[in-house]
Every structure is written in C-alpha cells, then in structure tokens.
Structure 1
Amino acid sequence: MEGGAGMETRARQKKIPGRQDKLEAGDKIGETELTASRHANTEGEIGLEKILKELREFRKENNEKLVDIKEDLNSTNKRIEEAEDRITEAEEQIKQTGEVLIELLKLQTQLENKLTDQEGRSRWDNFRIYGVPENSKNCSSTITFVEKLLKDGLHLDPSTELHIQRAHRALAPKPTDSARPRSIVVKFLSFKTKEDILGQVWRKGGLMWHNA
C-alpha cells in the first residue's frame, strides 16, 4: 500500500509540470488577447480622436460659413433699407411734384381765363370797317384815313376828336383785285366814343365812301 501511494504521488508530481505548461500557454494567450485588446482600444481611441478632430474642423468651417452668411445678410438688409428709404423719398418727391403740378395747372387755367377776358375787353374798343377797297387809302397813315372816312361818311364836324389809338388792315394776305378787300380794324381809346360812332353808323344804315 505504501508502495502504491508513493507511485501515485510520483505520478501526480509528474503531471504537475504539464498543467503548468498549459497555464503558461493560457497566460500567454491571455496576454496576447490583452495586447490585442489594448491595441484595438488604442486604434479606437485614435479613430475617435480623428473623428472628433474632423467634427471640430467641420464645425469650425460651418461657423465661418455662418459668419460669412450673416455678414452677407446684414449687408443685404442694409442695402434693402437704403433702397426702401430712397423709394420712400422718391415717392414723397413725386407726390409733392404732383401737387405742385396740379397747382400750376390751376394757375395756368386762371391766367388763360384772365387773358381771354382781357383780350375780350380789349376788343370792346375795336371797330371793324368792311368793304373799303385795298387801294383807297390816300393818306399818310391808316389812322388819318379812317378819321377822314368816319367824319366824311357820318358828316361829323372836322374838329371832332375820335381818339383812335390804332388802325390797320386785318392780318391776312392781300387779296387779288377781284376778291373781297380785307376789313379795317380800328381801336378807339374810349369805349364810349366807339359806341357813339357805331350808333351813328347804324342809324345811317352804313358808311359811304366816295358814294360807293
């Protein structure tokens, strides 16, 4: 029995080195796996750092682009505000110009009406004589001729003052001998004198020039 126990002890002692080899091999495998894991972790950390770096760069680029966009927007808004101010100013000027134009048109209408009235009033002193031949004037001026025509035709006193301001043929081309002669326009200084002469002409039924 003692001999058998001794043999078992030896056998066990012999088997122990094998176990140690296995343990050593296992330890080496564990170390390899640990090294690989550490290496993988290191690579993972490097990859994460690279990703973070790229993300930071991307974020930085985006921020720079956003700053540029904001500056462009601010510049655009500023130009738009300036354009709106100019448009508002132009609209105000157009409005004022329109108001001034309306006033000027009103003033022009008033002036035209006054001018027409003045022209009409100035014609109140005018007197037209029709039917006097073109070559019948034998005086130094048309005024002298008209005074002689009226005094002779109406049998007025030669000393009568007719107060004729001006006298002339109507403003038209001189007609031919066979055409109707132009009228003579006479302007008196006094409306009363014109009315008196006109009344006498109507009462006499017209003027006679050289019994014609």
Structure 2
Amino acid sequence: MGYAKSKWVAEQLVLKAGRRGVPVTVHRPGQMWGDSRSGACQENDFVWRFIRGSLQAGLYPRRFRLPMNIVPVDYVSAAIVALSRNPRAIGGIFHQVSPDVLGPEKILGLLRSAGYELAEVSILKWMKAIAADVTNSMFPLMRVVAEWEKVDVAEFSDVATREFLVDAGLPRPDIDEEVFSAYVAYFVRHGILPDPATVTGP
C-alpha cells in the first residue's frame, strides 16, 4: 500500500545517511493507539472507524481479515526515548510491536467486555449494511476493505528491542480489557462512541 511504500523509501534514506556516518536509529512501531492510561486516542484510525461503523450498523462481520499489530503510543514514545539515550543503539533497527495480533475475534471479545452487543453476520451482509448508509464511519473506506483481503501483513519481532529496554524498566502494555475500556471511555466522553448502556443488543 502507498503508505507503507513511503515509509520504506524514508527508511532507505535514513539508512543511507547512516552509511555516510550520521548516527541514526530506525524505529518501526506497530499501529499506534492512544495512551494506555488516560485512553486519549485519535478517532480517525482504520480500526476505530471499523469499530465505530460496526456499532453504527449494529452488525459485526464474521471471518473478516483484519490482522493488526497495535501498541499504545505511550509505550512507543517511551521506548524511542529510552533507546535514544543508549549509545549502543546507534545504527540499530528496533520494532515497537505487540507479541499478539489484534484480530477481529479479539476485537469482538473486547467490545463485548466493554458492554457492546453486536449481531454477527457474513462479511457480505456487513458490507451491504455499511454501503447503504453514507453517514456510516466506514462508508468512505469500503474500497480499502475490499483491498485489505489481498494484503499480506508482515510479522515482526521485538526481541532485540526488549533486550535493549531491560534496564529501562519499561513494560509493554497489551491491548487487554482494561486498556480497551480506557479507550472506549475516552471516546464515549467525547461523543465518538455510544455509551454501551444506551445500546440495544441484537
């Protein structure tokens, strides 16, 4: 996809500068969500638009291919700062990623743990419902949904990154029920997601 290609080109320029003697490090974070404690998060993220659109439709697609490696932004920023202070890190390539992929089944489980109930339907029925409502959060991204099935998602390990961060005492928070509920609470407060208490189940 274009976004990933642009990141690759930028990285090649950084690596070229490194070969010419500029002290550089390369950081490859996963998809970043908001602060894991306050829940502050930007709403115009593909997965959050998918979540919001599904809640608007009251439907959730079965067997939807949505593998995402998601990490909280507070972890990513703290990891980059810690690595920047370590002279041994110069010239290295570091991944700030989660060990687990946040797939559609886990997202549905997190939504249910937050109090939302959605009817599970086929991906085709879900897409038809989204396409029939121009106000749906996912309506402008339906072409992306169709293309997503063709994308091979790369897998990365953060073992080297974690080894450098041992002395920093920096835990890597997972997107679990507690962290997810913080995001939901933030979005509910700002009127972006409906309050689970007001949503009628399927």
Give the TM-score band, short-chain normalised.
Answer: under 0.3
Return the TM-score normalized by structure 1: 0.18
| TM-score, normalisation: structure 2 | 0.19
Greater relative contact order structure (CA < 8 Å, 6+ sep): 2
Q: Which has the higher helix share?
A: 1
